[in-house]
């Protein structure tokens, strides 16, 4: 048996309970978790913004140690430190054939599987986003584990599974920030803090952090922000004032709100680029008129998982960490136990802090 946080139904509170995990079958790996990050996507699963089969064990950002492997698994062995990859690419769908593995049509196929059972009554349980990291141990497909970069504590390595990959990828792959460009990052949570560090790594000249909370300024500046703006109706105007009345070259939206997406777009210069990382509700609408689209010549694009290839990019981020360019621990503002996840969700809704990290 292992202890886990189970979402019994959409809209229901998480339940901490004992679950029974099977031994790993062919192509599977059992992992003992060291740490798991609490991501806004987990919150989106609880409230129905994103849908997966339930009951489910949530958690998709984590790292741990291999306990055992099933037949056919050769890239990891018992005792190996690993990072969980919640969106493994199949290698055969149309998106994968184009090299766009972050858009793999089959990446979440594993979430439909029954992977464990509730110990008390045998209820079937699904792995929320493939990896079920809100548990002391998990059993995943071998494609869902990547060797952890050498020399990085597992608690830090957990952040590589989502926040760091997404924030770094949004800046380097989606927005393609170039040396000397100006950047604004909207939302100073775990992903936003990673995006700020990535903008600094890319050599951005001015880096503006935007958030509703004045209390996050010190966090933002530590991550690389050169300017801090408390969100208001005048945000776009303030950002233009900080950039010679032009607007930034690139805006990275990490909040997933219609008003923030619109403001991020308005904050860029003529011909600027806005990358939307945040996951918003389908009920929120962002509107533009036809003339302004022509006149401003701006680009608005979505961004899934930072447009990253985890197998390629986890080692790259590991090198940035070892070189001192990327500070994973700086994304974490709270370390909690499993029973602290609901409070971490409340803090997200209130716009408090960066990443909460479950420590096992």
Residue 64 CA to residue 85 CA, distance in Å, equals 12
pLDDT in tens, 188-242: 999 999 999 999 999 999 999 999 999 999 999 999 999 999 999 999 999 999 9
Task: Identify whether residues 20 and 104 lie together within a single domain.
Answer: yes
In a domain, 239, yes or no: yes
In a domain, 227, yes or no: yes
In a domain, 154, yes or no: yes
pLDDT given for residue 352 in this prediction: 86
Task: Identify whether residues 281 and 177 lie together within a single domain.
Answer: yes
Question: Tokens 């986890």 label which residue?
Answer: 314
For β-strands 56-57 and 124-127, DSSP reports them as: parallel
Q: Where are the alpha helices (DSSP H) in the chain?
A: 40-47, 94-97, 154-157, 163-169, 190-202, 217-223, 235-241, 258-266, 290-296, 310-322, 341-349
CB 68, CB 298: distance < 8 Å: no
pLDDT given for residue 355 in this prediction: 94
pLDDT given for residue 48 in this prediction: 84
First to last CA, the chain: 15
* Short-list 236, 269, 154, 252, CA closest to 199: 252
Task: Identify whether residues 34 and 113 lie together within a single domain.
Answer: yes
Task: Identify whether residues 85 and 224 lie together within a single domain.
Answer: no
In the numeric block, which tokens belong to residue 284? 């929120």
Task: Identify whether residues 17 and 129 lie together within a single domain.
Answer: yes
For β-strands 206-211 and 81-84, DSSP reports them as: unpaired
Task: Identify whether residues 126 and 9 lie together within a single domain.
Answer: yes
Task: Identify whether residues 118 and 253 lie together within a single domain.
Answer: no
pLDDT in tens, 74-88: 999 999 999 999 999
Task: Identify whether residues 76 and 8 lie together within a single domain.
Answer: yes
In a domain, 311, yes or no: no
Task: Identify whether residues 26 and 172 lie together within a single domain.
Answer: no
Residue 271 CA to residue 97 CA, distance in Å, equals 31
In a domain, 285, yes or no: yes
Task: Identify whether residues 209 and 119 lie together within a single domain.
Answer: no
Task: Identify whether residues 152 and 257 lie together within a single domain.
Answer: no
pTM: 0.95
pLDDT in tens, 115-137: 999 999 999 999 999 999 999 99
The enclosing domain of 51 has a CATH number of 3.90.180.10
In a domain, 99, yes or no: yes
The enclosing domain of 195 has a CATH number of 3.40.50.720
Question: Residue 79: left (phi > 0), alpha (psi -120 to 50), or beta?
Answer: left
In a domain, 80, yes or no: yes
In a domain, 225, yes or no: yes
Task: Identify whether residues 152 and 217 lie together within a single domain.
Answer: no
pLDDT in tens, 7-48: 999 989 999 999 999 999 999 999 999 999 999 889 888 888
Domain that holds residue 204: 166-304
Mean pLDDT of the chain: 96
Q: What is the dihedral of CA 307, 311, 316, 322, to 10 degrees?
A: 130
Split at pLDDT 50, 70, 90, the class of 349 is confident
8-state DSSP, 295: H
How many domains is the chain built from? 2
């Amino acid at each position: 048996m292992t202890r886990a946080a189970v979402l019994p139904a959409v809209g229901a509170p998480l339940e901490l309970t004992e679950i029974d995990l099977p031994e790993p079958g062919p192509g599977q790996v059992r992992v003992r978790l060291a740490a798991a990050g609490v991501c806004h996507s987990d919150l989106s699963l609880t409230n129905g913004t994103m849908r997966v089969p339930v009951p489910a064990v949530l958690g998709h950002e984590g790292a741990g140690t291999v306990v055992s492997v099933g037949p056919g698994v050769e890239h990891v062995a018992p005792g190996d430190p690993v990072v969980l990859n919640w969106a493994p690419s199949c290698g055969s769908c149309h998106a994968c054939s184009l090299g766009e593995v972050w858009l793999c049509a089959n990446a979440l196929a594993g979430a439909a599987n029954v992977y464990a059972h509730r110990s008390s009554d045998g209820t079937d349980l699904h792995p929320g986003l493939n990896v079920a990291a809100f548990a002391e141990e998990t059993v995943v497909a071998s494609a869902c584990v990547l060797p952890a970069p050498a020399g990085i504590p597992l608690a830090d390595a957990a952040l590589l599974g989502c926040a760091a990959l997404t924030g770094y990828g949004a800046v380097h792959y989606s927005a393609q920030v170039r040396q000397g460009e100006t950047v604004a990052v909207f939302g100073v949570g775990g992903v936003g803090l990673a995006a700020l560090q990535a903008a600094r790594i890319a050599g951005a000249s001015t880096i503006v952090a935007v958030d509703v909370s004045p209390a996050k300024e010190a966090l933002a500046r530590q991550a690389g922000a050169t300017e801090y703006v408390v969100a208001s109706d005048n945000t776009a105007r303030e950002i233009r004032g900080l950039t010679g009345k032009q607007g930034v070259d690139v805006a990275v939206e990490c909040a997933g709100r219609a008003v923030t997406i619109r403001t991020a777009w308005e904050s860029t210069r003529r011909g600027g680029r806005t990358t939307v990382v945040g996951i918003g509700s389908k009920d929120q609408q962002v509107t533009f008129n036809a003339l302004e689209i022509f006149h401003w010549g701006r680009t608005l694009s979505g961004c899934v998982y930072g447009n990253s290839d985890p197998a390629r990019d986890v080692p790259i981020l590991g090198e940035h960490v070892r070189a001192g360019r990327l500070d994973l621990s700086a994304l974490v503002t709270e370390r909690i136990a499993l029973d602290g996840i609901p409070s971490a969700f409340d803090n997200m809704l209130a716009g408090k802090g960066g990443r909460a990290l479950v420590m096992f």
